[in-house]
Chain A
Amino acid sequence: MVSVPEIWKEVTVTENIIELKGLTRRYGQFTAVDSLNLAIEKGEIFGLLGPNGAGKSTTILMMLGLAEPDGGTVRVCGYDPVSDPVEVKRRVGYLPEEVGFYDDLSGMENLIYTARLNGYSANDARTRAGELIRRVGLAGEEDKKTGKYSRGMRQRLGLADVLVKDPEVIILDEPTLGIDPGGVREFLDLIVRLSREQKITVLFSSHHLHQVQQVCDRVGIFVKGKLLAVGDVQSLAAQLFNGDGRPVGSERKNYSLDDIYFRYFEGGVDHE
C-alpha cells in the first residue's frame, strides 16, 4: 500500500524542477550562501536578484555540481548534482557569468563541438548549430572566429550553446551583461519565447531589476547569502510594505521592483 505522502512526493519531484533545501556554502569563516531554501516550478521564469557578492553565482554553481555544498541538498530535475552531475547536466543548460569559447574556432565550430559532446552525430550537430545560430541572430557571423566576436555576439553565442542540448532548464548567470539595450530586449524576448513555447524553465540571475521585472514570473531577492523574499513583484510588495502600517495598494496601485529593491538594499530593512 502506498501512502498519500509518498505519491505527493513523486508529484512534487516532477513539479518542482529545482529544489534547494538548507543549502550552505562557506569559504573559510565567510558564509557565501546561508541555508537557502528555494523551489522553482517547471516552466516558470525565475529571477534571482541581488547585489554583487550576494552569492548568486555560488548558488548556481552548486546546482550544477561545479561547487560542492557544505550543507543542505540540491535537486535539479529530480537528480542530485553532487552524486549525479551528468544526469543533471544532460537536462540543464548553463551560461556562465563570463562565457568563453575556443577563440581559434568559428562560432559554428564551437557549437558543433558542444553538440557532439551532447551526443549528436557530426551531421546532426551541424544542422543543430546552424539552426541555433539563426535563432539567436548570429546568421552571417557563424564562420567568423569567436576571438573576433564582440561581447554581445559572444553572449548570443553563449545562449545558442546553452540551447544545443535541448534543455529542460536553462540557468543564465547575468546573461545580459555587455549587450546593448536593443540587444537586451531581443535577448529577453527570446528567453521568454523559448520558455513559453518549449516549456523550458529559466533561472536567471541579475542585478538589473528592470530586466528581471520585464520577464520573470517570480523573483527571489538575495542578499548576503540569504533569500529575503520570494514571489511575484506584487506579492513581494505586499510582503514588504504590509509591515509598515500602510495598507497595500492604498497609495499606489502598482509597486515596481525598484521600490522593493531599494527598500531592501538601501532602505535598511532590518533583516530578521
Chain B
Amino acid sequence: MISISVILKEEWIMSNAILSIKAKLSHTGESIRHPFRVIVEKEMADHIRSWRFIILIAIIALTTIGSLYTALTNFSQAVKPNDPEGTFFFLKLFTITDGTMPSFTVFISFLGPLLGIALGFDAINSEHNRGTLGRMLSQPIHRDYIINAKFTAALAVISVMLTALGLLVMGAGLFFIGIPPTAGEFMRIVFFTILSILYVAFWLNLSILFSVLFRQPATAALSAIAVWLFFSVFYPLIINLITKSLEPPPTATPQHMIAFEQFRLVLLRLMPNQLFSEATTTLLMPSVRSLGPLTMEQMIGALPGPLPLGQSLLMVWPQVTGLASGTIISFVISYILFMRREIRSR
C-alpha cells in the first residue's frame, strides 16, 4: 500500500519535472526569455512605435533646443566675475534664462509630469477594454508582472530619453562653449538626470494608479492632469492664502518667524514639483547651502563658496526620499487594487 502511494507520488513529481523541463528546453537550444522580460520588451516596443511617444519626443526636443538656445545666447552675461559659482559655469547651461524662455530644468519640471502621465494613463484600463487583460492573466505569469512590467518599460523609455537629453545639452555646451565640464559638473549632471527620472517616475506611477482605478483612459488621463494642475497652479495659491493670514507681524520674535517659515516650507514640500525644484537647485547651483531659513548664527563664518558634491547630495536626500516615497505609495495602492480585482472580459 505504501508503495502504491509512493509510485503515484513519484509519477506526479516526474510529470511535473518533465513539464518544467519541457518549458525550459527548446528544440533549437535557444535561450528562453523570462516572461517578465517578454512583456517589458513588448511594452517598450509599443511605446516607441506609438504616435503619442513621437509627439512627446518632438515637444520635448523642441523645448530643449529652445532653452539651449537662450542659455547659449545669454551665456556671456550670465557668467560674472567673483561669482561663487563661477567655476561651475557649465551647469549654467541647465539653469540660465533671459526671461523669455524658461531654463532646461524648468522645462523638465513642467513637461516631466506630462511625459509620465502620457506613458501610464492607459496602462491597465486599455488592456481591460480591449479584452486582452483576461487573456494575459490566463497565461502562467504572476499578476503583478503585468503592472510591474508596464512600469519598468515606461521607466526604461523615460530614462533613455532623459539621459539622451542631458547628453544633448552637454554636447551642445561642449560644442559652443568649447570647455568640457569638470568631473564634478559631470557628476552633478548625472545626478540631476537620475533625479529627473525619479520625478517622472512619480507621475508615471500616479497615472498607472489612475489607470487601475478608472476604466476609461480619458478619465484616468484627465484625473492625472488635474492632480498635476492642482499642484502646479492651485496649491501654491492656497498656500499663499493660508500663509498670508498666518504671517507673524514684523515685531514677532525670531523664533516665531523661523517657525512660521518652516511651516510654510512643510506645506510647500507636499508638492512634488517643489521637491524636484529644490533638489535641482541644490544640485545645479552648488553655492546653495540651505533650502530653509538660516539664522545669523548659522551664517556667521560661512564662506561664500560652492558646496562639495557630497554635501549637495546630503542636502537633497530628504527631497529624493520624499519623491521616492510618493512613487512607492501610488505603486503600492495600484498594486493592492489590481491584485485583488476580479478580471472579467471587457
Whether the pair A121, B39 counts as a contact (CB closer than 8 A) is no
Nearest residue (CB) in A for B345 is: A96
A108 to chain B, nearest CB (A): 14
Give A118 to B20 CA distance when docked, in angstroms. Answer: 11
Known: A2-B1, A14-B8. A116 touches B33 (CB 8 A): yes
B215 in contact (CB, < 8 A): no
Say which residue of B24, B139, B345 sits within 8 Å of A99 (CB atoms). Answer: B345
B346 in contact (CB, < 8 A): yes
Give A121 to B30 CA distance when docked, in angstroms. Answer: 6
Whether the pair B23, A119 counts as a contact (CB closer than 8 A) is yes
Q: Which of A1-31 contact B (CB under 8 A)?
A: 1-4, 6-7, 10-11, 14
Say which residue of A57, A68, A102, A122 sits within 8 Å of B132 (CB atoms). Answer: A102
- Number of residues in A with C-beta < 8 Å to the partner? 47
A170 to chain B, nearest CB (A): 11
B80 in contact (CB, < 8 A): no
Residues in A whose Cβ lies below 8 Å from that of B140 = 86-87, 89-90, 117-119, 165
Give A92 to B19 CA distance when docked, in angstroms. Answer: 13
A118 to chain B, nearest CB (A): 6
Give A174 to B124 CA distance when docked, in angstroms. Answer: 25
B60 to chain A, nearest CB (A): 24
B138 to chain A, nearest CB (A): 4
- Number of residues in B with C-beta < 8 Å to the partner? 41
Nearest residue (CB) in B for A101 is: B132
Say which residue of B27, B138, B141 sits within 8 Å of A93 (CB atoms). Answer: B138
Whether the pair A119, B32 counts as a contact (CB closer than 8 A) is yes
Whether the pair A100, B1 counts as a contact (CB closer than 8 A) is no
A161 in contact (CB, < 8 A): yes
A202 in contact (CB, < 8 A): no
B171 in contact (CB, < 8 A): no
Whether the pair A114, B139 counts as a contact (CB closer than 8 A) is yes
A103 in contact (CB, < 8 A): yes
Known: A66-B137, A89-B139, A121-B26. A113 touches B131 (CB 8 A): no
A94 in contact (CB, < 8 A): yes
A52 to chain B, nearest CB (A): 14
Residues in B whose Cβ lies below 8 Å from that of A161 = 135
B5 in contact (CB, < 8 A): yes
B84 to chain A, nearest CB (A): 55
> Which stretch from B68-76, B235-243, B297-305, B336-344 is at the chain A interface?
B336-344
Residues in A whose Cβ lies below 8 Å from that of B344 = 57, 61, 66-67, 97
Give A7 to B340 CA distance when docked, in angstroms. Answer: 36
Known: A86-B140, A117-B39. A67 touches B342 (CB 8 A): yes
B13 to chain A, nearest CB (A): 12
B38 in contact (CB, < 8 A): yes
Q: Which of A29-52 contact B (CB under 8 A)?
A: none
Residues in B whose Cβ lies below 8 Å from that of A61 = 342-344
Whether the pair A121, B1 counts as a contact (CB closer than 8 A) is no
Q: Which of B41-75 contact A (CB under 8 A)?
A: 42
Q: Which of B107-130 contact A (CB under 8 A)?
A: 130
Q: Which of A119-161 contact B (CB under 8 A)?
A: 119-124, 158, 161
Give A117 to B145 CA distance when docked, in angstroms. Answer: 11
Give A97 to B132 CA distance when docked, in angstroms. Answer: 11
A183 in contact (CB, < 8 A): no
B44 to chain A, nearest CB (A): 14
Residues in A whose Cβ lies below 8 Å from that of B4 = 7
Whether the pair A123, B30 counts as a contact (CB closer than 8 A) is yes
Give A100 to B33 CA distance when docked, in angstroms. Answer: 24
A52-63: CB near B (< 8 Å → 1, else 0) gives 000001000100
| Residue among B2, B31, B39, B134 with max Cβ neighbours from chain A (10 Å) | B134
Whether the pair B346, A100 counts as a contact (CB closer than 8 A) is yes
Whether the pair A121, B28 counts as a contact (CB closer than 8 A) is yes
B143 in contact (CB, < 8 A): yes
Whether the pair B138, A102 counts as a contact (CB closer than 8 A) is no
Residues of A within 8 A of B (CB): 1-4, 6-7, 10-11, 14, 57, 61, 64, 66-68, 78, 85-87, 89-90, 92-94, 96-103, 113-114, 116-124, 158, 161, 165, 173
| Those 10 A-B pairs whose CB atoms lie nearest each other, nearest first | A100-B131, A96-B345, A121-B26, A121-B30, A94-B138, A90-B140, A67-B342, A96-B134, A119-B23, A100-B130
Residues of B within 8 A of A (CB): 1-2, 4-5, 8-9, 12, 19, 23-24, 26-28, 30-33, 35, 38-39, 42, 130-143, 340, 342-346
Q: List 25 A-B contacts (CB under 8 A).
A: A1-B1, A3-B1, A7-B4, A61-B344, A64-B138, A67-B344, A89-B138, A93-B138, A94-B135, A96-B345, A100-B130, A100-B134, A100-B135, A100-B346, A113-B42, A114-B135, A117-B35, A118-B35, A118-B139, A118-B140, A121-B28, A123-B28, A124-B26, A158-B135, A165-B139
